[in-house]
Amino acid sequence: MDASIKNNITISILHMHILNQPIIKTLYHTVFVTSSEAELFAIRCGINQAFSKKNIFKIIVSTDSIYIAKKIFDPSSYPFQIQAMAILKDICQFFSRDLYNLIEFWKCPSHLNWHLYKAVNLEMKVSNPIPVYLCKTS
């Protein structure tokens, strides 16, 4: 997953794979949010997508923004409380389904050139969102 801001529009892209096979790609555009909020939203959507699949016992969230992922577990981080609480609720439901379920957060810096991250990052760079309401982005 990755998020960035271009022309006052935040873009969040998430690719989901099961056993290295791509199964879901989501792309979100929004205005007036920070890239940190978009990263948390992408994590939340990814976790929700994984929960919707049957026989998922292990979720690995790989992100170049592990600092933001840590905010999920920091209740004192007021700006991210809404997203963090929603993610924690989903995580609790995931663990209540089976005590052996597992979620891991992997830091994947862009300089490692991991092929899956590069694909998302490249897609992010070539994306050219067009504001729907031009008067609201000025």
CATH code for the domain in which residue 90 is found: 3.30.420.10
Q: Is the pLDDT of residue 6 over 80?
A: no
User: What sections of the chain are H helices per DSSP?
Assistant: 35-52, 66-70, 81-97, 115-126
Helix (H) or strand (E) holding 6: strand 2-6
Residue 85 confidence (pLDDT): 85
Determine the Cα–Cα distance for residues 42 and 63; give it in Å rounded to an integer: 10
Residue 102 confidence (pLDDT): 92
Could you identify the residue written with the tokens 């830091």? 107
Q: What is the mean pLDDT of residues 73-100?
A: 83
Q: Is the pLDDT of residue 109 over 70?
A: yes
How high does pLDDT run on average in the chain? Answer: 76
Buried b / exposed e along 89-110 (16+ C-beta atoms within 10 A): ebbeebeeeeeeeeeebeebee
Determine the Cα–Cα distance for residues 119 and 3; give it in Å rounded to an integer: 13
* pLDDT (tens digit per residue) in 45-72: 888 888 777 788 888 888 877 888 888 8
Total domain count, the chain? 1
Residue 138 confidence (pLDDT): 44
Residue 133 confidence (pLDDT): 56
- Grade residue 100 by pLDDT with cuts at 50, 70 and 90: very high
- Print the domain residue range for 54: 2-136
Q: What is the pTM of this model?
A: 0.70
Determine the Cα–Cα distance for residues 99 and 137; give it in Å rounded to an integer: 46
